[in-house]
Structure 1
Amino acid sequence: MICSVFTVATPDLSPQELLITAKNAGIDAIEWRCTRISDSIKNDPPSFWGNNRCTLDPESSPELLADLRAATDAHGLRSLAVVPYLTCGDLEETERILTVASALGASYIRLGVPGYNGSRPYGELLEEGRTYIREAEKLARRYGIKGLVETHHNTIAPSASLAHRLVEGCNPDHIGVLYDPGNLIHEGFEQYRMGLELLGPYLAHVHVKNAGWTPVTDSTDPLEPASWRCAWQPVAGGIVPWKQVLADLKAVGYQGAFGIEDFSGALGSSEMLQLFVRQMHAWWEELHTSE
Structure 2
Amino acid sequence: METDFSTLRYEESDHVATVTLDRPEVHNAFDLRMMQELRELWRRLREDDKVRVVILTGAGDRAFCTGLDRGTLDTAEPGTDDQPIGIRGGTPLHFDDPGDWISPKTSGDLWKPVIAAVNGMACGGAFYLLGQVEFIIAADHATFFDPHTSFGMASVFESMAMLQRMPLGEVMRMQLTGAHERLSAQRAHQIGLVQEVVPGPELLDAARRVAAVIASQPPLAVQATLRAVWYAQDLGYRQALEVAKTLVTLGDDPAALAEGQAAFNSGTRTPWRLR
User: Under TM normalisation by the shorter chain, which class is it?
Assistant: 0.3 to 0.5
The one of the two structures with greater contact order (alpha-carbon pairs below 8 A, sep at least 6) is 1
TM-score, reference length from structure 1: 0.32
